[in-house]
C-alpha cells in the first residue's frame, strides 16, 4: 500500500526540536561565547562597576567604623551612589519597586481571618524591567552618538604611517571608551620638504571632553606646522592656545612634539610633561627623551627647552602614553615602567610593525581580561 504524505506531519518534522530551539536561543544571547569567557567578562564588568560606584563612597569614614557596621554602611553608600545617578522620576520608580518587593508577601491576619494579603512581585518586576529598558535606551542612544564621534576622531589621526626615507613608523591606539583623549600624528607639513613632524599627546581626562580638546590640539598643530614654524615656535604657540582653553589649568595636555630630518637622521623634540619616550639603541642600551617643560595649558609664559637625538641604523624610538605603564591586572598591580623598559630591551631585531605588536602583546599578556582603565597609545619609530 502506497503511503500518502501528511502535510501536518511534514510541517512538524520541519520545525526544529525543543533542544534545537534552546541551542539557537543560547547562541543568540551569548553570541557563541563559552561559559568561561562569559564569566571572565562578567567579572571584569563587576569590577569596573564596583570602581565606578565606589568613587562616591567615603571609604575613609567607613574605615573608622567597627567591623560589623561597615557592610551596612557600604551597602547604603553604594545604594545612594546608584540612586543619585538616575533621574528623579526613575529614582521614585526604583524606590516604589523596592517597596513592592519588600512587601510582596505581606499578609495581615486577625485570628483566623485574613484582612490583607499583598502579592506584588509582578508589579515590582514590571517596574524593574521598565527601569532597565529606560536605562538601556539611554545607553544605546549614547553609544550610537559615541560611535559617530569615534568615526570623526579616527579621521583626525593617520590611518597609515607616512613613508620615511631610511625609517619606518607604526602606531596603535585603544580608547578606554568609544572616544579617547590620546593623540598621535606623523605627517609632512610641507609635501615638498622632507621635514617630518611626529607628535604624541594625552589630554587630561577621558571620553568626550578629552576628545574635544584632542581635536582642537590636532587642528592647531597641523595649522601652525603648515605655516613653517620651528619646533620651538610651534610648542610656544600650542601652549598659549592650550592655556586659553584649559579651564584654569584643569584641562592640561602632556605631549611630545618632534621633527625628524631624514638626511641627517637627527630628531629635535620638546617634551611637554609627557611620559619620556625611550630610545633603544641597536646595541641594546636605552636613553630617554626628557628635555622640555610643563604640560600645555598650565602656564602661558612657560619656557621649553629643546632636546635632540642622533639616530643610527637599528635604533628604535618608542613614544607612548601613560595608559601603557598604568595598565593593571586582575590583582590591581600596574604594568609599570620597569616591565615596559624590560619589554623594550627585549625587542627582537625586526621592523616597526613587528616591534609594535611585540610590545602591545606584552601589555595584553599582563593585563589579561581586566577592563582597560585608560586610553593606550603607542608609536614606534625604527631607523633603518
pLDDT digits (tens, 9 = 90+) for 173-203: 888 776 667 889 999 998 778 889 999 999 8
Say if residue 248's pLDDT is above 70. no
Q: Is pLDDT at 1 greater than 50 in this prediction?
A: no
- 3 state DSSP class of 191: coil
Most confident of 49-53, 139-143, 177-181, 355-359: 355-359
Question: What would the mean pLDDT of 309-331 be, rounded to a whole number?
Answer: 92
User: Worst-scoring range by mean pLDDT, 28-37, 111-120, 358-367?
Assistant: 111-120
pLDDT for 3 equals 47
Q: Average pLDDT in the 56-78 region?
A: 86
Could you tell me which CATH class the domain 164-383 is placed in? alpha beta
Kindly report, as residue ranges, where domains of CATH 3.60.40.10 are found in the chain.
164-383
Distance (Å, whole) CA 210 – CA 203: 6
Q: What is the pTM of this model?
A: 0.70
pLDDT in tens, 287-298: 999 999 999 999
Amino acid at each position: 500500500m502506497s503511503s500518502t504524505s501528511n502535510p501536518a506531519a511534514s510541517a512538524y518534522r520541519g520545525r526544529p526540536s525543543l533542544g534545537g530551539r534552546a541551542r539557537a536561543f543560547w547562541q543568540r544571547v551569548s553570541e557563541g561565547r563559552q561559559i568561561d569567557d562569559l564569566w571572565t567578562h562578567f567579572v571584569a564588568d563587576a569590577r569596573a562597576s564596583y570602581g565606578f560606584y565606589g568613587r562616591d563612597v567615603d571609604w575613609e569614614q567607613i574605615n573608622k567604623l567597627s567591623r560589623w557596621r561597615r557592610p551596612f554602611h557600604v551597602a547604603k553608600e553604594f545604594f545612594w551612589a546608584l540612586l543619585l545617578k538616575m533621574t528623579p522620576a526613575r529614582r521614585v520608580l526604583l524606590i516604589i519597586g523596592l517597596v513592592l518587593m519588600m512587601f510582596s508577601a505581606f499578609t495581615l491576619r486577625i485570628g483566623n481571618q485574613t484582612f490583607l494579603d499583598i502579592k506584588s512581585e509582578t508589579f515590582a518586576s514590571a517596574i524593574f524591567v521598565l527601569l532597565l529598558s529606560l536605562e538601556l535606551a539611554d545607553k544605546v542612544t549614547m553609544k550610537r552618538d559615541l560611535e559617530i564621534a569615534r568615526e570623526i576622531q579616527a579621521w583626525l589621526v593617520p590611518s597609515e604611517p607616512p613613508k620615511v626615507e631610511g625609517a619606518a613608523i607604526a602606531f596603535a591606539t585603544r580608547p578606554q571608551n568609544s572616544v579617547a583623549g590620546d593623540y598621535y600624528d606623523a605627517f609632512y607639513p610641507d609635501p615638498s620638504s622632507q621635514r617630518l613632524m611626529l607628535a604624541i599627546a594625552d589630554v587630561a581626562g577621558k571620553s568626550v571632553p578629552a576628545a574635544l580638546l584632542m581635536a582642537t590640539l590636532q587642528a592647531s598643530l597641523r595649522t601652525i606646522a603648515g605655516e613653517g614654524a620651528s619646533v620651538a615656535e610651534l610648542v610656544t604657540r600650542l601652549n598659549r592656545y592650550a592655556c586659553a582653553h584649559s579651564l584654569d589649568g584643569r584641562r592640561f595636555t602632556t605631549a611630545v612634539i618632534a621633527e625628524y630630518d631624514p638626511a641627517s637622521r637627527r630628531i629635535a623634540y620638546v617634551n611637554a610633561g609627557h611620559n619620556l619616550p625611550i630610545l633603544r639603541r641597536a646595541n641594546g642600551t636605552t636613553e630617554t627623551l626628557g628635555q622640555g617643560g610643563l604640560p600645555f595649558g598650565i602656564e602661558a609664559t612657560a619656557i621649553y627647552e629643546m632636546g635632540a637625538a642622533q639616530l643610527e641604523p637599528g635604533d628604535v624610538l618608542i613614544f607612548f602614553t601613560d595608559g601603557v605603564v598604568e595598565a593593571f591586572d586582575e590583582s590591581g598591580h600596574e604594568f609599570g615602567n620597569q616591565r615596559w623598559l624590560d619589554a623594550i630591551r627585549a625587542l627582537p631585531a625586526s621592523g616597526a610593525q613587528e616591534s609594535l605588536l611585540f610590545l602591545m602583546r606584552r601589555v595584553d599578556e599582563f593585563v589579561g581580561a581586566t577592563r582597560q582603565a585608560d586610553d593606550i597609545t603607542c608609536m614606534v619609530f625604527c631607523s633603518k
